[in-house]
Amino acid sequence: MSEPPRKYDVVLRRRVRESQYIELPEAEAPPKPAGARDRAKRFILILFLIMIAGAALLATPLTTKSGDRTPVVDAVFTSVSAVAVTGLVTVDTQNHWNTGGQVILLALIQIGGLGFMVGAGILFQLGRGGRTTIGQSLFLQDGSPSISLSEATALSRRIALFTFVVEGAGWLVLSIAFSRQMAWDQAIWHGLFYSVSAFCNAGFDLQGNFASLVGYRSSYAINITMAFLVLAGALSFLVVREALEIIRSMRLRLRRPTLSLDAKLVLSGNLVIFLIGFVAMLVLEWNGMLGGQPGEDRVLGAAFQALAGRTSGFATVDWSSANSITEFVWLATMMVGGASGSTAGGVKIATVAVVFVAVISTFRGDSESAVFERRISPGLLMRSMSIIAAFILFHFAGTILLAFTEFSLSETDAEFHDMLFETMSGLATVGLSTGITQSLSDFGKVLMCVLMFVGRLGPLTLGYALQMRSQPRRYRFPVGDVRIG
């Protein structure tokens, strides 16, 4: 409602000719702030450039024990495998690289593991300018509180501290364990290398002859320490922090905080996958890969492979002698991987858990998916299914292409199930191999590099892209009937 005219108000009217117009100077557009999508692209680009720089360093003759140049394709393969914390190698780490080459390799592993966990939070703050929108200043997560950019940077510092503390503890224990078999200077270097490689779930070893940890399969100190490091990296800092807060509250008899839904799914899912792998290894490989050892060593080997081998690629058994059923079981466990935001790969435990909960809820006749007294949104379920479907599609395409390159373009004794295992190991950034990595053709090695790179960044970028594209609709189409089953 307009105000009534006052006593001395005067209304002025002026007729403007049609040809007259008022020209206003154009206002300068404010600088456009770098969005989250731009910083995500920078993060991917930086990791790619680190891989290229690492390959350039490893290709020089200064990094090899023989003094010869490493073939470019092998240098690229090693660099990508290290930054993607996979562990597949075409040249033996101990026998091929000298100390300088191993130091470069260790630096690439640390950058790939730690940098992947904390790099995103830091890069989202770079280039910040002007007014930041809500979508740019928040990391949107289903079932978890959003955090601002400053909080993300502080969280990154805590993740780095957690990483160095765990790796330092593992370094100390492993150095003491290795000192029983080698000189102290070698034991210290081996302890550092294995500690970083284990926490980052990289799977690189210094035993020689592509033997991984087979020579230490009877050492309880090394097996338990390595499994602890791998598990700490695969569970992620956020889940470990929540679990430690629960333990601390119970010890001090304080009010016990509750675990988040994400932590519950990760911890329970990790336990289920461990039990599946452990039982499968004992039943299927008791007289196979585990054969020729005392009973307690067989149990230790099965537990280590089920706990640490499926995400890190470290092996205390010879996977070239595994039967096809064991490889098939391990395809599933490798695909699941570790927790989101961890050093492990795969589609992530929570992603699979969300779909599993939806299946169980459907069988029970529930209209909504719920677990641990929490409801799972349909959008989160659809994104989880999309990530798993895309992962399976990449694995299918990668296996077909690898089989084509190896069976058609080169002579190989590998069988098709070995190709299935190899591509899943690369795509899930695990690093286990039945022994065919070294005999791959150059085309096969390039293809595996693509799979390792996609496997490292694919689930993260796809999940983020689906999250950002999610928009509520103000309308709904009518329901259509479709025959299924």
Q: If DSSP states are collapsed to H, E and C, what string results for 261-296? A: HHHHHHHHHHHHHHHHHHHHHHHHHCCCCCCCCCHH
- Interhelix angle for 261-285 vs 324-336, to 10°? 170
Give me the pLDDT at residue 135, please: 37
- Sort strands 374-376 and 369-371 into parallel, antiparallel or unpaired: antiparallel
Distance in angstroms (rounded) separating the CA atoms of residues 410 and 433: 19
Determine contact, residues 240/232, Cβ cutoff 8 Å.
Answer: yes
Give me the pLDDT at residue 77, please: 96
- Interhelix angle for 295-304 vs 261-285, to 10°? 140
Give me the pLDDT at residue 116, please: 77
Determine contact, residues 336/273, Cβ cutoff 8 Å.
Answer: yes
Give me the pLDDT at residue 342, please: 85
C-alpha dihedral sign at 307, 308, 313, 315: negative
Give me the pLDDT at residue 151, please: 63
Reference 281, options 300, 262, 265; nearest CA is 300
**Number of other CB atoms surrounding residue 286 within 10 Å:** 14
Residues facing residue 371 across a β-bridge: 374
Determine contact, residues 379/451, Cβ cutoff 8 Å.
Answer: no
Determine contact, residues 236/341, Cβ cutoff 8 Å.
Answer: yes
Look up residue 117 and give its amino acid. M
Phi-psi map region of 107: left, alpha, beta (phi>0 left; psi -120 to 50 alpha): alpha
Distance in angstroms (rounded) separating the CA atoms of residues 146 and 340: 15
Give me the pLDDT at residue 129, please: 39
Determine contact, residues 364/340, Cβ cutoff 8 Å.
Answer: no
Look up residue 326 and give its amino acid. T
pLDDT tens for residues 31-85? Answer: 444 455 566 677 788 888 999 999 999 999 999 999 899 999 999 999 999 999 9
pLDDT tens for residues 245-298? Answer: 888 777 766 666 678 888 899 999 999 999 999 999 999 999 989 988 888 999
Residues lower than pLDDT 70 in the chain: 1-40, 119-152, 252-257, 459-477, 479-481, 483-484
Residues near 360 by beta carbon (within 8 Å), at least 6 away in sequence: none
Distance in angstroms (rounded) separating the CA atoms of residues 319 and 216: 15
Look up residue 214 and give its amino acid. V
Find the largest Cα–Cα distance for the chain: 109
Phi, psi for 183 (deg, rounded to 5): -65, 160
Reference 334, options 316, 360, 308; nearest CA is 308
Distance in angstroms (rounded) separating the CA atoms of residues 48 and 359: 38
Structure tokens at 9: 């108000």
Look up residue 46 and give its amino acid. I
| Number of residues in the chain | 485
